[in-house]
Structure 1
Amino acid sequence: MTAPIPSPVWQPAASRVIPIAAPANLRTRGLVPEIVTLSWAPKSSADHFDFSLDLSAILDQTGDHLAAIEQVDIPTASGLPTELTVLWSSVVQGLACIMLGGGSPGEIEQIVVYVVTQQGRRLAPRVELAITAATDATTPTPAPTMPGDIPVPPNAIQLPDGTILTGPGGRPYLIA
């Protein structure tokens, strides 16, 4: 399998990377309750930050690597214009990286990141993110988009004329 390619343009913030650990003992899964709540460092509604998940421990010694983020779901989203919003998502430096903006002050949001690996493994880690009351509720600034409202992550391959190189589905090719 192809190992992650270092991105020359974008570096995920190390302070907002959560390593996803492999289960401690597969034999007792289901017999012993696993109560693990993952959470990123809090952000204010006005912040636009990248948050990442490192799945390398789960994929250790499999020869497998993260291939894509299929979708990011925020089941606690309120429907308001200031709700926590995914501005873009991408595989960057082998991490599942998402850019988030907005959010209701004082709330704890849940984010589910659906990923697929090069060998077809599918994972859906759930993470919590507290929105501090440091600022008022703020409408997120939208990310640059291509036709069809497809967001352009910072590791999209850009041609010299400024256009984004895309694949058959209209999705940008990435340095991932």
Structure 2
Amino acid sequence: MTAPIPSPIWQPACARTIVIPEPTNLRARGLVASIVPLSWAPKSSAENSDFSLDASEILCCTNDYIAHVSASVTTAQGLPTDLSVSWCSIVNGLACVFLGGGEPGTTQTVNVEITTQQGRVISQDVLIAIVSGTASAPNPVPTLPNGTPIPPNAIQLPDGVILLADNSQPLLIA
């Protein structure tokens, strides 16, 4: 397996990174674990920021790494000010999601799906509170001509061309 390559360009914010905890083995002792939801730091509607998940604990001792990340806001209602996913990427081994917008005074659920190089699929719901204030739509992010968002760790040639994989997705420094 290829270990994550440190990104020289862009770093996820530590303050908005949480670890996906390894599952506890309570059933062997006759106990049922309560599910504790994960929550990112609150954001304002006008804020457009990266939020990350660290899967190192759940992948410990597997020699496995994140290969793909996708995310969706399961509580979105189709409004222009809904919390939305601008892009997803893998940066320094973290599953990074760039979020913008959000209806003030609500708590939204973001489902992050991580696929690993060995084929594991981790589907993790994360809550995020949108603090009170004025509702605003997410800021636009750079995109390819086909509308695919360009994350900050996409490989870009000196002439500005973004290198693409066979599936027309940007190649990443991941």
Q: CA deviation at 1:75?
A: 1.1
Q: CA deviation at 1:125?
A: 0.7
Q: Distance in 2 between matches of 1:46 and 1:151?
A: 19
Partner of 2:142: 144
- Is 2:161 the counterpart of 1:169? no
RMSD: 1.5
Q: Distance in 2 between matches of 1:35 and 1:27?
A: 13
Inter-CA distance 29–37: structure 2 relative to 1 (3 Å threshold): farther
Partner of 1:156: 154
- Is 2:7 the counterpart of 1:14? no
Output one character per residue of 1:92-131: Cα deviation in whole Å (capped at 9) or x when no partner.
0000001100000000000000110011100101100000
Inter-CA distance 140–30: structure 2 relative to 1 (3 Å threshold): farther
Partner of 2:63: 63
Q: CA deviation at 1:27?
A: 4.3
Matches within 5 A, 1:15-164: 15-25=15-25, 27-28=27-28, 32-69=32-69, 71-133=70-132, 135-164=133-162
Output one character per residue of 1:123-166: Cα deviation in whole Å (capped at 9) or x when no partner.
10110000000x30001111100022100000000011101000
Output one character per residue of 1:67-88: Cα deviation in whole Å (capped at 9) or x when no partner.
111x211110021101101111
Q: Distance in 2 between matches of 1:31 and 1:68?
A: 34
What TM-score results when the alignment is normalised by the length of structure 1?
A: 0.95
Amino acid at match of 1:125: Q
What TM-score results when the alignment is normalised by the length of structure 2?
A: 0.96
Task: Specify the SS of the correspondent of 2:57.
Answer: helix
Identity of aligned residues (%): 56
Inter-CA distance 30–18: structure 2 relative to 1 (3 Å threshold): farther
Q: Which consecutive aligned stretches of 4+ in structure 1 deviate over 6 angstroms post-superposition? A: none
Task: Specify the SS of the correspondent of 1:44.
Answer: coil
